[in-house]
């Protein structure tokens, strides 16, 4: 059913089982996301008060190893567009799925958005989730990520053209909602 459904099932399932003070970490299981970052991400939540922490490719000390030029260009373009259209304080990397969430932040998002929290099916699901969380007034932080595509176990499932189109569609539809005065989260369904 796609990445969006997997993220929905994982985060909703974890949120249902967690206390508000717990931390939920989502990461890729293909050797590209180093688990050694988890303590630093959790510390940003527990000691610094962040609600969402992103392992970012766009912080000092970050690096991307083994990713082709087209994907690097696409990631950079997405970053510029998301930051220009939907600036979220503390966020530079809108699309990386390696994140730590304060469970109470996911509880609140599910309360506000209900089933509408997870609407996208593909890789754009991560950006969509972040945009919705950004509208809730949460605190965001990032830690530097060394993304290791050279250690990836298998070929990427991302279809570059389809992901680019869906990301542009997401940007336009979310932007139109803001232009038409729908700047607050929708009522729960």
pLDDT digits (tens, 9 = 90+) for 27-38: 988 889 999 999
Reported as a pLDDT band with limits 50, 70 and 90, residue 104 is very high
Q: What is the mean pLDDT of residues 57-72?
A: 89
**In angstroms, rounded to a whole number, what is the distance separating the alpha carbons of residues 154 and 1?**
19
Domain annotation for the chain: domains and CATH numbers: 3-179 (3.90.550.10)
Structure tokens at 156: 């990427």
Q: Say what the pLDDT of residue 52 is.
A: 98
Q: Are 14 and 104 in contact (CB under 8 A)?
A: no
Look at 170 and 38; give whichever has higher pLDDT.
38
DSSP the chain: --HHHHHHHHHHHHHHHS-TT-EEEE--SSSSS-GGGHHHHHHHHHTT--SEEEEESSSTT-EEES--HHHHHHHHHHHHHHHHHS--TT-S-SS---EEEEHHHHHHHHHHHGGGG----STTHHHHHHHHHHTTT--EEEEE-EEEGGG-SS-----HHHHHHHHHHHHHHHHHHHHTT--SPPPP-
Mean pLDDT, residues 87-104 taken together: 95
∠ CA(66), CA(55), CA(24), 5° rounding? 130
Q: In 3D, which of 182, 169, 147 has the Cα closest to residue 78?
A: 169
- Altogether, the residues listed in the chain come to a count of 189
Whether 167 has a pLDDT exceeding 80, the answer reads no
pLDDT score recorded for residue 153: 65
| pTM for this model (two decimals) | 0.83
**Is residue 131 a contact partner of residue 174, using CB atoms and an 8 Å limit?**
yes
Looking up tokens 């000092």, which residue turns up? 60
């Amino acid at each position: 059913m796609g990445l969006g459904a997997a993220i929905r099932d994982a985060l909703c399932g974890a949120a249902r089982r967690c206390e508000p003070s717990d931390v939920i970490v989502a990461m890729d299981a293909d050797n590209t996301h180093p688990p050694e970052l988890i303590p630093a991400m959790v510390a940003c939540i527990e000691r610094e008060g962040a609600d969402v922490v992103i392992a970012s490719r766009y912080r000092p000390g970050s690096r991307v190893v083994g990713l082709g030029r087209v994907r690097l260009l696409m990631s950079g373009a997405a970053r510029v567009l998301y930051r220009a259209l939907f600036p979220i304080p503390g966020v530079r990397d809108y699309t990386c799925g390696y994140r730590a969430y304060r469970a109470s932040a996911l509880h609140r998002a599910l309360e506000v958005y209900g089933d509408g929290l997870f609407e996208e099916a593909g890789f754009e699901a991560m950006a969509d989730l972040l945009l919705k969380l950004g509208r809730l007034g949460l605190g965001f932080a990032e830690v530097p990520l060394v993304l290791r595509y050279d250690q990836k176990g298998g070929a990427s499932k991302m279809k570059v053209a389809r992901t680019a189109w869906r990301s542009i569609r997401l940007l336009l539809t979310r932007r139109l909602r803001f232009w038409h005065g729908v700047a607050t989260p929708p009522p729960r369904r």
